[in-house]
Amino acid sequence: MRTRVCITIDTEFSIAGAFSDPALRPVAEPMVTCDVAGRSQGLDFLLATFQRHDIPATFFVEALNRQYFKHDPMAAIARRIHGQGHEVQLHVHPCWSVFRHADWRERVRACPRQDDFFGRDEADTLALIRQGMEAFSDWDLPPPQAFRAGNLQHDDALYQALARSGIRYSSNIGLAVFDSGDPRYALYGGRHERHGVIECPVLTYCDWRLGRRPHLKTLTIAGTSFAEMKTLLEQAHRIGLSLVVILSHPFEYIQSRDQDLRHARRHGIAQRRLTALCQYLDHNRDRYTPSGIAAAAIAVAPDHSVARDRPVAPDHSVAPGHPVAPSRSSSPENPLLEGRLLQSLDRLALQATYACYGQAALLATRGGSR
Ligand SMILES: [Zn+2]
């Protein structure tokens, strides 16, 4: 069986400190184009890389920002991505909805956690999802089939609201980013049904252990080297894992010291990682099928059981490359894959060095080209 690999790009604008500092303003297109010296090192780099290697990707496009950006600059971005044949799916950050109130500053002061889905009332969550779906309709795009919550926050109310909205697929879970503490959502990867919605979590793996205690990491281009990704993909294929979801953002491909990304430089390491990943997937289509996330979720073989709403016991003791034993988990779709310690150490050292080098280079060229 081929393992489907979904590269997912959360495409979003930024509050950029405006909630806490009245002098700052939210930032739109620069968060997505990520221009350096007049060249887009974010979205254009991504689209060109995917095109070169014939990789269909999924862009989870944030749709509530138009509560603030009344001229709706995300519309053109979403249409452009759709025009290149990638899946455009719905991403929602609830924080943008506060801008519909004239007294938004007071509301943010009274309730700073504007961006939480976790603990939000189901009706309120459903209203936010429907606002996002309306944006897709206004943008003349097909209705979204898949959803990703801001900050990967999730709870029962979110899945119930998604089911009521008619959105059938989701990718709301990345345990190293957000862990609700609910064992039913302790999902490392694969595909799982919750409240009638098929959840395809961003892969969470163990990059090193302290004794038997695993250190968890959610798979992103910014945080995982290509060598580590290759190890994980080979392991996933070996154990018959149907799906690996990878998370990224356009701004991972530049380095900047500013909230508005005005002064930035290309992130060579991140760009080389994505290029190497796409090349690897392109050259190994006998084992992997690069795929949009809805296409992957739909392609569940009839005999391939999707784990239902039963609790899935997290298993932190699984041997590298082996699925969780059925007695510990309701599904072989929920293994905790293991990275290699030396590869993790290599990555940590390289990233620390490159971050320092990048900051020094930005300082040296401050005031120069964008
Ligand atoms: Zn986001």
* Euclidean distance between CA atoms 290 and 206, whole angstroms: 23
Distance 284 CA to ligand 1 centre (A): 30
Token reading at 154: 């999730």
Residue 346, pLDDT > 90, answer no
Say which CATH number the domain at 105 has. 3.20.20.370
Token reading at 69: 């950006």
The average pLDDT across 186-213 equals: 94
The answer to whether residues 247 and 174 touch, using CB atoms and an 8 Å cutoff, is yes
* Euclidean distance between CA atoms 22 and 25, whole angstroms: 8
Asked, for residue 343, whether it belongs to a domain, the answer is yes
Asked, for residue 141, whether it belongs to a domain, the answer is yes
DSSP tag of 31: H
Distance 19 CA to ligand 1 centre (A): 17
Q: Which of 229, 15, 34 is nearest to 108 (CA)?
A: 15
The answer to whether residues 351 and 269 touch, using CB atoms and an 8 Å cutoff, is yes
Contacts of 191 (CB under 8 A, 6+ apart): 198, 199, 200, 242, 243, 297, 300, 306, 307, 333
Distance 61 CA to ligand 1 centre (A): 9
Element (DSSP H or E) covering residue 58: strand 58-62
Residue 315 banded pLDDT, cuts 50, 70, 90:
very low
Q: 311 lies in which domain range?
A: 3-365
Distance 199 CA to ligand 1 centre (A): 17
Distance 1 CA to ligand 1 centre (A): 32
- Write the pLDDT tens digit of every residue in 22-51: 999 999 999 999 999 999 999 999 999 999
What's the domain count of the chain? 1
* Euclidean distance between CA atoms 221 and 219, whole angstroms: 7
- Write the pLDDT tens digit of every residue in 250-309: 999 998 888 777 888 899 999 999 999 999 999 999 999 999 999 999 886 443 456 565
Instruction: Give the model's pLDDT for residue 253.
Output: 97
pTM greater than the 0.95 cutoff: no
Partners of 59 in beta bridges: 9, 88
Asked, for residue 36, whether it belongs to a domain, the answer is yes
Asked, for residue 370, whether it belongs to a domain, the answer is no
Distance 304 CA to ligand 1 centre (A): 31
Instruction: Give the model's pLDDT for residue 331.
Output: 55
The average pLDDT across 77-106 equals: 97
Distance 132 CA to ligand 1 centre (A): 13
The answer to whether residues 147 and 162 touch, using CB atoms and an 8 Å cutoff, is yes
Distance 341 CA to ligand 1 centre (A): 29
Residue 351 banded pLDDT, cuts 50, 70, 90:
confident
Q: Where do we find the tokens 């969780």?
A: 324
Distance 325 CA to ligand 1 centre (A): 34
The average pLDDT across 85-92 equals: 98
Partners of 197 in beta bridges: 194
Distance 328 CA to ligand 1 centre (A): 32
Q: Where do we find the tokens 């924080």?
A: 95
Tell me how many degrees the CA angle 169-95-151 measures, rounded to the nearest 5: 50
* Euclidean distance between CA atoms 137 and 144, whole angstroms: 9
Asked, for residue 217, whether it belongs to a domain, the answer is yes
* Euclidean distance between CA atoms 142 and 340, whole angstroms: 41
Distance 250 CA to ligand 1 centre (A): 11
DSSP tag of 26: -
Three-class secondary structure of residue 126 per DSSP: helix
DSSP tag of 305: P
Instruction: Give the model's pLDDT for residue 318.
Output: 38
Asked, for residue 126, whether it belongs to a domain, the answer is yes
Distance 184 CA to ligand 1 centre (A): 23
